[in-house]
Structure 1
Amino acid sequence: MKSPLIVAPLFTLLAACGGGGGGNDNPVVAASVFAGNDQQIIEKSEFTIEAKGSPADGTFTWQRISGPIIEDFPLDGALQTITAPDIKADSELVLRVSYQTSDGQLVSDDLLIAIESNNQIPQVVVTQTAPATLPSDYQDTITLSAAGSIDPDENGQINSYNWQQIAGPALAVDSNSNATISFSHPLLDTNTLITWLITVVDDEGGESSTEYSHTLNKTTEVIIANAGSDQSVIELEKVTLDATDSQTVTNTYKCYWQQTAGSAVLDNQQQCVTSFIAPATEAVNTHTFEVTVTDYKGRTEKDSVDIVVNSKPQGLINDTGMSKCYNNTQEIACTSPDFPRQDAYVGRDSGVGTHIEKVGKGEQAFDFTKLNQFADELLDNASNFSCIRDNVTGLIWEVKSPNTNVLPNTQLREGQNHYTWYLTNEGEVQSGSSLGTPNSTCPSNSNCNLQVYVNEVNALDYCGGTNWRVPTYTELLTLLNYGKHGQSILLDENYFPNTPNSNLLADGLIYWTSQTAVDGTSLSQAYVFDMSDGNDLAYPKSNTAFVRLVRTAGASQ
Structure 2
Amino acid sequence: MNKLTVCIYLIILTMVSACNDNTGGSNSAANIASVNAGADKVVLEGLPITLDATVYPEGGNLVWVQTAGPFNEGFPTEGELTVDIVAPSVALDTELVFRAEYTSLDGQVVYDEVKVQVTNVDYPPVAIIKVDDTITQPFNTYEEITISGSDSYDLDGEVRKYLWTQIDNNNPLTFISDSTSSELIIVAPFVVNITNYTLQLTVTDNMGITGVNTIDIQIAASNSVIAANAGLDQTVDEFTRVDIDASSSVSSVSEVSCLWQQVYPTTTSVVFDDAEQCITSFVAPDVDAQAEYIFAVNVTDTADNVASDQMVVIINPINLGTLHDTGITSCFSDSKEIACNDPDYPNQDADTGRDEISTLLDKSGDGPRSFDFTKLDENGDDLPNDRTEFSCVRDNFTGLIWEVKQPRSIPEFQNLRGVDNYYSMDSSLEGLTSCPSESNCGQAEFIDNVNESGYCGGANWRLPTYLELLNILDYKDVDKSNLLVSEFFRYTPNSNNGNSEHQFYWVSDTSATGGGGFLNWVLDLSTGDDSTILMNKTAYVILVRTP
Deviation at 1:192, TM superposition (A): 0.9
Given the alignment of the two structures, is residue 436 of structure 1 paired with residue 440 of structure 2, yes or no? Answer: no
Which consecutive unaligned segments of at least 5 residues does structure 1 have?
A: 1-10, 16-20, 230-236, 279-287, 306-318, 352-365, 370-387, 404-410, 422-432, 459-464, 551-557
Which residue is equivalent to 1:66?
Answer: 68
CA separation of 1:326 and 1:210: change in aligned 2, threshold 3 A: closer
Fraction of identical pairs, as percent: 23
Match of 1:314?
none
- Distance in 1, matches of 2:222 and 2:176, equals 20
1:186 lines up with 2:189 in the alignment: yes
Structure 2 distance, partners of 1:206, 1:228, is: 35
Counterpart check, 1:545 vs 2:539: yes
C-alpha deviation, 1:201, in angstroms: 8.6
Q: 2:53, 2:100 within 8 Å by CA — same for their partners in 1?
A: no
After the TM superposition, which residues 331-370 of structure 1 pair with which residues of structure 2 at under 5 Å, given as runs? 333=339, 338-339=351-352, 341-342=354-355, 345=359, 348-350=366-368
Residue 55 of structure 2: aligned partner: 51
Amino acid at match of 2:48: K
Question: Match for 1:397 among 391, 400, 406?
Answer: 406
Tell me by how many angstroms 1:25 deviates. Answer: 1.2
Query: In the TM superposition, what are the counterparts of 1:376-455 in structure 2 within 5 Å?
Result: 397-399=406-408, 401=410, 419-420=423-424, 434-437=427-430, 449=441
Aligned pairs (5 A) from 1:83-122: 83-88=84-89, 92-98=95-101, 107-113=110-116
Q: CA deviation at 1:82?
A: 1.5
Distance 1:446 1:101, change over 3 A: closer
Q: Which residue of 2 aligns with 1:424?
A: none
**Alpha-carbon contact 1:64-1:94 (below 8 Å) kept:** yes
Q: Is the 8 A contact 1:517 1:523 kept in 2?
A: no
Pick one of 474, 478, 482 that aligns with 1:485: 478
Secondary structure of the structure 2 residue equivalent to 1:94? strand
| Matched-pair contact (CA < 8 Å) for 1:334–1:344 | no
Q: Residue 499 in 1 paired to residue 492 in 2?
A: no
Q: Give the drift of 1:477.
A: 8.9
CA displacement, residues 62-86 of structure 1 (integer Å, 9 cap, x when unaligned): 433334545242535xx71211325
Native 8 Å contact 1:162 1:178 kept in 2: yes
Shift of 1:247: 2.7
1:216 is aligned to 2:209: no
1:530 to 524, 533, 536: 524
Q: Deviations over 1:200-249 (max 9, x none)?
A: 799999987554334211233543153999xxxxxxx9997854145335
Match of 1:509 among 494, 503, 506: 503
Q: Are the structure 2 counterparts of residues 446 and 100 from structure 1 closer, same or farther at C-alpha, using a change threshold of 3 Å?
A: closer
Tell me if the contact between 1:502 and 1:509 (Cα under 8 Å) persists in the aligned partners: no
* Change over 3 Å in CA distance of 1:105–1:205 after alignment to 2: farther
Alignment of 1:459-470 (within 5 A): none
Secondary structure of the residue aligned to 1:186 is coil
Q: Does residue 325 of structure 1 match 2:330?
A: yes
Q: Distance in 1 between matches of 2:498 and 2:295?
A: 57
Partner of 2:230: 226
Contact 2:463 2:541 (C-alpha < 8 Å) held by counterparts = no
Q: 1:529 to 1:398 in 2, by over 3 A?
A: farther
SS in 2 for 1:51: strand
Instruction: State yes or no: 1:170 paired with 2:172.
Output: yes
- Residue pair 1:48, 1:81 contacting (<8 A) in 2 also: yes
Letter of the 1:338 partner, please give it: D
> Per-residue deviation at 1:190?
2.3
After superposition, residues 1-150 of structure 1 pair within 5 angstroms as 24-26=19-21, 31=32, 33=34, 35=36, 37-38=38-39, 40=41, 43-44=47-48, 48-52=52-56, 62-67=64-69, 69-70=71-72, 71-76=74-79, 80-88=81-89, 92-98=95-101, 107-113=110-116, 128-144=131-147
1:331-388 Cα deviation digits (max 9, x unpaired): 555798833642974684548xxxxxxxxxxxxxx9997xxxxxxxxxxxxxxxxxx9
Amino acid at match of 2:216: S
Structure with greater Cα Rg: 1
Q: 1:390 to 1:214 in 2, by over 3 A?
A: closer
Q: 1:106 to 1:274 in 2, by over 3 A?
A: closer
Q: Following TM superposition, by how much is the alpha carbon of 1:418 offset from its aligned partner in structure 2, in angstroms?
A: 5.1
The question of whether the paired residues in 1 share the 8 Å contact of 2:148 and 2:182 is answered with: yes
1:177 and 1:547 map into 2 onto residues whose CA distance is: 64
Distance in 1, matches of 2:279 and 2:196, equals: 34
Cα gap change, 1:241 to 1:202, in 2 (>3 Å):
closer
Residues paired across the two proteins, number: 436
Superposition RMSD in Å: 6.8
Distance 2:182 2:158 in 1: 10
